[in-house]
Structure 1
């Protein structure tokens, strides 16, 4: 077995803060930073206490950076030793004992420190400022991905795969582990040689630069637009969180004004829902869809950048042997093929598009009854949609919130999980935390006796303006602090971090969106904590295909719309009265209201991402062709929304945006099994479905392909019928209205 030295990768630009929290799986670049504060004499992680939990009260920035530096050097030294050992061997008898076991021991300490740093970054930025976290993140990530650039490891795994290809010696998880390493290495160009490999590294380098430029310009463009508002009549119905976001004077009461509208996503979204003035809505909307276009200042124009990103991604795919970037992207997707994706999205569009037409016609009639005598335009939809939901369906957000006190929802969410998944969740108060309001919970597996906790999780619920990272459009996180690994006897740890804002002299009340986020992130944590895996590389959400990552969280979110569960998690905060039937109906109807319009929008963005990464045509020609298929509204001549499509050009969702729809589709089909069991009013059947869900989706993690996980849960492949039914778009004999 010949030894080929690791190719050194050019130094990369640091990414923005948002993308630092996303795992850059298969992104194909390494970030190099200077070494700081390493000390090879450390033989114990000083951040972990005697109870095997982090000692947050004693953590300093210097200590964190120093520990990561030390662990990084130790890991690099051990990796070199492993490579030398493999190079000297003429045969690998057991690839798991000789390769994977040492890799787990090398990675585990550093991964834990990295996860702890992420937790502090989100939970207390005074303990872990952005600059310090970026240093730690980049140092840890550089070390972690080095194994995928190792020729000795890659050759050993290829030999093992070829040797056992015709046998049944490997179980599913072992095959997944081997395939994971080989695919990661392949997509990072390990099989390329000479000029081709150097060219790929240049492509990665340029891609990172172009994405950073895109993000910087988008951020500047959002700040550049300012729409002043001094009229109290305009902001009359604005919710408090929106008023706080647009108040010019942060020290003054938000209802006093003046107010200023910018193009931050949360502000635009909420402003369009609550602004009663058609002309103001149009002004903000047109500024939003034209930002970063050639109609704006050249300094913030991104059209050039997105075309360069598309070109570089085509080059990347070509060098790696793929027809297009989309075809390459499918290597890491549950859907498996472009035909499956396009057929599925097309079937959904066939139902959603006609529904959109009737929905908008009905909204037009509703608006006219309120005195709006113009033809509705797309920027008018959010405002009249909200009013229609309130007046026709009785969905009053502020009234409904009174029945969702945080403590009531949280306690009953835990009780639901205990019943469905045969676990026990107990709070432990004697745990070191990063803030006094943080709580820690042990989770016990009653299926195995429940004597010792199988893992634990922190819950940090409340906003702290001076301490915690706040992103209004993405304000809840599940951090995998530490992954399960049987080899190193490591128990999983997770952190649920939110920014729910307290109002003085009143319990914290949750909106429907808040409840959905709480259930969603808790679902992610259950996948992380209940997974049974020998290797951390397959534990929890690690190694789960992109379009399957959100399935568990979405299933938990769907459970909110089970009427029995909805009743259990709600009660009026002042008198404990149950949620009235009319409000139950309002909550149930809310997810179906204008669902054809919303689904078409998601299908359009998915199709746009696909076409941009399959074709060479200029982006403007592509949207002119696609837009009319998905919208009843005409495309504005100056609409340049792809120029600010952050998720695919600044984030990690290029070639993967359809994953959002796919995960919802699969989750709806999973939930339909709960619904079918619930129809019989037999609680044992309902719990049996929960047990089956736990023993598949929550147990396997990345040990089994999600298509097979679904088949073991449902006995067939996923169908779009359940999603369409949950949105009120079709009737089904098997799945009645829930």
Structure 2
């Protein structure tokens, strides 16, 4: 049995992150790395895997282990000190990455290894790592000279700063708005859980009444349930104009940042020989070209829009017939949609909440993973943490530990919105033969526990947890020992959502829900009538949801594909909406100003990946529909093809190995209720 690494360096020590010394420590580490890289290149006249890649992986991992807790804390515990330290480091990291990507001697060493006789003896993972590394050198401007090379470095550094500033503006703008209500009569229609949460938020600030914010667990219940239309409108406007010229006196306005980001990305793409940034983005993805992406999105839009139009027409008719509403405003859509759902299916997210206490959901999630993938999961009690809510779990297989993950489930001040999985440690083979085991961060923004009551999740939050855990399993159940293609590394971006969206399917299966759901007070399973209603309502407004995601995807891709000086993001978004949207938001809406996925995350000209991967995930799940949703052989096949191989083989090959054929869009349209 190979010895694995669970020692003092296997988990980050958050309490040892000292913002005052972070920048100096990073500078020293980067200089050490530079000296070691120079020595490695000088001694590799005839490079081998062991003499070239192994020591470079060690250098890369050392930097990753230094930066991981700092980057993570910046997202989950953002405050002045951490933010200052993080931003002080970004230019150094950007310069270092640019230097590395444009190191011709290093590039030639990798090429020499890839073209050597010894390359034939390398493993599939090692050969794929070499191929991707050489490609990434070329996409990092290794072939640039003189002014072009200098300009590429300037652009990279500036884009890093702009992305960080964009995200900070969204966080600060979200945090800047709140509303205290002291008359409970203004809050009619809100469920008890939302009122209790707002009361708890007010008490935490030393106030009497009910405090509402733009954090999703506070915002969504108001838009969905509050009878007070004026309150819905006020919160909708505040949320829709975050980080724009229309809010906070423009203090956190992201509009100029968007224009600069787009201009710099376009310039970078052209420096590298691409027509536009969209083509540069596709160069590392499963899709073959920008034309293929556009054809895919337009085809889905054409097939989905009629269903979306039917959804909207039914909602408008319901609001008029039942409530005498002649005009359905943007802040009315969620409210009347929830009324229609309750009338049509006699169910709401709030009715389900008591049956999804977080510990029961976690138990059901772990049961699903254990049954499908033959793993065991246990909670750890002794570890360094940055917040009392954070939990740590270990995954084992056949009695041997294989991975760990931190779970940070609840929304709080100083934590960016949304949900995500991120690497903490990557699985790789060390130079002494031992195996470093993978560790993941799983982060959500669920409604916090209220008083002595456990956190009660909506079914939407349950699917979010399964989604992020699917990403985590991709990272943690890898069997690849080469860092750059281990877990999610090296996986084409438009395939990386496959395991996450795939795992969501179990949230809708009665056989799985028997383990996921149980009343928080009695343990009673989800009653059959509620289960039947929930399943019947599964595709409620799925047409509108589909075109909304296509709107985001087309906006992102066209924005980067059709960039021209003087053309604003708003103009592109308006044009896309005319093509695919059935609900046109008010003119004041500034969705793009908080679209962190593409301006502060990794999804630039890649947001379409959600839909692309959804085709793969729906088709993959259809095999379980055929074989049985807890079929252990099919689960083992998914684990051993998709999850175990990480980025060591092209995603299309792995999908075909699992499914036995190329992917088909039919399952997605069927699962969405858009096609029979």
TM-score after normalising by structure 1: 0.79
Partner of 2:561: 614
Q: Does the CA-based 8 Å contact 1:244-1:254 persist in structure 2?
A: no
Q: Does the CA-based 8 Å contact 2:124-2:648 persist in structure 1?
A: yes
Match of 1:81 among 25, 39, 51: 39
What is the number of residues matched between the two proteins? 663
Partner of 1:182: 134
Q: Does the CA-based 8 Å contact 2:20-2:85 persist in structure 1?
A: no
1:106 partnered with 2:59: yes
Match of 2:660 among 708, 712, 715: 715
Distance 2:278 2:456 in 1: 43
Closer/same/farther in 2, CA of residues 341 and 454 from structure 1, 3 Å limit: same
Distance 2:91 2:428 in 1: 23
Deviation at 1:453, TM superposition (A): 1.7
Deviation at 1:353, TM superposition (A): 0.5
Closer/same/farther in 2, CA of residues 256 and 702 from structure 1, 3 Å limit: same
Q: Does the CA-based 8 Å contact 1:61-1:127 persist in structure 2?
A: no
Distance 2:200 2:378 in 1: 44
Deviation at 1:85, TM superposition (A): 2.0
Distance 1:672 1:313 in 2: 39
Closer/same/farther in 2, CA of residues 64 and 634 from structure 1, 3 Å limit: closer
Partner of 1:403: 355
Distance 1:505 1:298 in 2: 41
Deviation at 1:535, TM superposition (A): 1.3
Partner of 1:512: 459
Distance 1:671 1:677 in 2: 10
Closer/same/farther in 2, CA of residues 64 and 564 from structure 1, 3 Å limit: farther
Distance 1:611 1:121 in 2: 31
Partner of 1:346: 298
Q: Could you list the per-position Cα deviations for residues 15-54 of structure 1 after superposition, in whole angstroms to 9, with x for gaps in the alignment?
A: xxxxxxxxxxxxxxxxxxxxxxxxxxxxxxxxx9856644
Deviation at 1:383, TM superposition (A): 1.0
Q: Does the CA-based 8 Å contact 1:420-1:690 persist in structure 2?
A: yes
Range moving further from structure 2, 487-496 or 518-527: 487-496
Partner of 1:312: 264
Partner of 1:702: 647
Closer/same/farther in 2, CA of residues 244 and 310 from structure 1, 3 Å limit: farther
What secondary structure does 1:507 align onto? Answer: coil
Match of 1:493 among 435, 439, 446: 439
Partner of 1:151: 104
Return 5+ residue gaps in structure 2 as ranges.
none
Closer/same/farther in 2, CA of residues 491 and 249 from structure 1, 3 Å limit: closer
Distance 1:409 1:370 in 2: 36
Partner of 1:357: 309
Closer/same/farther in 2, CA of residues 137 and 582 from structure 1, 3 Å limit: farther
1:528 partnered with 2:479: no
Counting only pairs closer than 5 Å after superposition, residues 58-69 of structure 1 correspond to structure 2 as 59=16, 61=18, 65=22
What secondary structure does 1:455 align onto? Answer: strand
Distance 2:362 2:123 in 1: 39
Partner of 2:341: 389
Match of 2:531 among 580, 584, 595: 584
Q: Could you list the per-position Cα deviations for residues 361-384 of structure 1 after superposition, in whole angstroms to 9, with x for gaps in the alignment?
A: 111222124323313233321111
Distance 1:63 1:205 in 2: 22
Q: Does the CA-based 8 Å contact 1:99-1:153 persist in structure 2?
A: no
Closer/same/farther in 2, CA of residues 288 and 306 from structure 1, 3 Å limit: same
Distance 1:337 1:277 in 2: 48
Deviation at 1:210, TM superposition (A): 5.0
- Return the structure number with greater helix share: 2
TM-score after normalising by structure 2: 0.86
Q: Does the CA-based 8 Å contact 1:275-1:281 persist in structure 2?
A: yes
State the superposition RMSD in angstroms: 3.7
Deviation at 1:695, TM superposition (A): 0.5
Partner of 1:660: 610
Q: Could you list the per-position Cα deviations for residues 484-531 of structure 1 after superposition, in whole angstroms to 9, with x for gaps in the alignment?
A: 112342122234355652223333322213322322222222222211
Counting only pairs closer than 5 Å after superposition, residues 255-294 of structure 1 correspond to structure 2 as 257=209, 269-286=220-237, 289=240
Closer/same/farther in 2, CA of residues 117 and 325 from structure 1, 3 Å limit: closer
Counting only pairs closer than 5 Å after superposition, residues 159-238 of structure 1 correspond to structure 2 as 159-162=112-115, 171-208=123-160, 210-211=162-163, 214=166, 232-238=184-190
Deviation at 1:547, TM superposition (A): 1.8
Closer/same/farther in 2, CA of residues 529 and 642 from structure 1, 3 Å limit: closer
Return 5+ residue gaps in structure 1 as ranges.
1-47, 732-738
Distance 1:609 1:516 in 2: 25
1:544 partnered with 2:487: no
What secondary structure does 2:494 align onto? Answer: helix
Q: Does the CA-based 8 Å contact 2:407-2:441 persist in structure 1?
A: yes
Closer/same/farther in 2, CA of residues 59 and 197 from structure 1, 3 Å limit: closer
Distance 1:50 1:223 in 2: 38
Range moving further from structure 2, 60-69 or 396-405: 60-69
1:555 partnered with 2:502: yes
1:628 partnered with 2:578: yes
Range moving further from structure 2, 689-698 or 171-180: 171-180
Closer/same/farther in 2, CA of residues 687 and 128 from structure 1, 3 Å limit: farther
Deviation at 1:696, TM superposition (A): 1.4
Counting only pairs closer than 5 Å after superposition, residues 366-515 of structure 1 correspond to structure 2 as 366-429=318-381, 439-446=391-398, 450=399, 452-461=400-409, 469-471=414-416, 473-474=417-418, 476-488=419-431, 489=434, 490-498=436-444, 501-515=448-462
Q: Does the CA-based 8 Å contact 1:562-1:675 persist in structure 2?
A: no
Deviation at 1:277, TM superposition (A): 4.0
